[in-house]
Amino acid sequence: MTTDDKTGVQPLLARPRDILAMATSSDPWSPAVTAAIALAARWASNLTSCYIEPSLRQVGGADLEPSALGLLLQPRGDDGGERAAFASHAHRLGVREAVWTVTHAGLAPTLRRLGAWHDLAVLERDMVEGAHLFDILGEAMLTSRIPCLLLPPGRDDEQLLLDRVAIGWNGGIEAVRAIHSALPFLQAAKEVLLIDGTPPGADDAEEKVPRFDPLNYLLRHNVMVRSRQIQVPPHLAGATLLKEAQGMHANLLVVGAYSHSRLRERVLGGATRHMLLHAEIPVLMQH
């Protein structure tokens, strides 16, 4: 930790106090659980792991009542053995408080409810089948508004090295929220690159509102960052961001999700949709 030269005071580092993992298995522990344990141990965070069974992962509709869902499905009950095993496993790896629970509702309502008292959710991108990925996972992020760390398929890394971070910046409020939520990752990173794709004249519509400067904001929070400006058509934004992140060998990409309406995202393809489908590194998204 560095010290401010003018005041001699050590800067406070950001950290999420409560982390949520959406678990897809307990034997072995699924990648989201493994990653969330690593983060909770690193930041001395409380950890909740919520198991969601395969049938419930495919259920859409943020307002579907659990009682109605129960008529269609018979999700497994809470298992005291799993709770004890998870707590023991997490404590052994350095997590102070760890709780295992089971949801009886779909992903979107679960994430919306649990997200109300958690600071970060960790999910496996392939927990939802490809045909439903955009609708169900996208709906969950859109309605919960909690920052979500999405792990690519095949990711199962106990160390979860996320020290080279690319940030996708387009001037939108979603990108501002994503940068703010990503501070714990950014402050710990060895290299941070801001990929600036702000459209010309993007500030004109909000000229009466104080402007958010991402570079100044990050420097105020002790994040050394460099910037690279790009100009691409909107339909190429997602692919370009992933290419730029790959070029710097990033192991984390930070982006705002759904900068446009859901309908426009669906019609245009959208950067959010492209990254949900194609990112090969963890992506921190927030609406």
Residue 188: which H helix or E strand, with range?
Answer: helix 183-188
The reported pLDDT for the residue numbered 160 is 83
The answer on pLDDT for 1 being more than 50 is no
Superfamily for domain range 18-151? HUPs (3.40.50.620)
CATH top-level class of 164-286: alpha beta
218-273: pLDDT as tens digits: 999 999 999 999 887 777 888 888 999 999 999 999 998 765 444 444 433 477 77
In a 10 Å sphere around its CB, with 0-12 CB exposed, 13-18 middle and 19+ buried, how is residue 6 labelled?
A: exposed
Map tokens 């004109």 to a residue: 204
The reported pLDDT for the residue numbered 131 is 66
The reported pLDDT for the residue numbered 11 is 54
**Do 154 and 54 meet the contact criterion of CB atoms below 8 Å apart?**
no
Segment among 119-123, 273-277, 281-285 with least mean pLDDT? 273-277
pLDDT above 90 covers a percentage of the chain that reads 50
> What is the C-alpha to C-alpha distance for residues 25 and 27, in angstroms, rounded to an integer?
6
- Ranges of each domain in the chain: 18-151, 164-286
**Do 251 and 163 meet the contact criterion of CB atoms below 8 Å apart?**
yes
Map tokens 């990173």 to a residue: 189
126-155: pLDDT as tens digits: 888 766 777 777 777 777 879 999 999 887
Intrachain domains 18-151 and 164-286 with the same fold:
yes
Strands 148-151 and 283-286, by their bridges, are antiparallel
What are phi and psi for residue 20, nearest 5 degrees?
Answer: -115, 130
Q: What is the pTM of this model?
A: 0.85
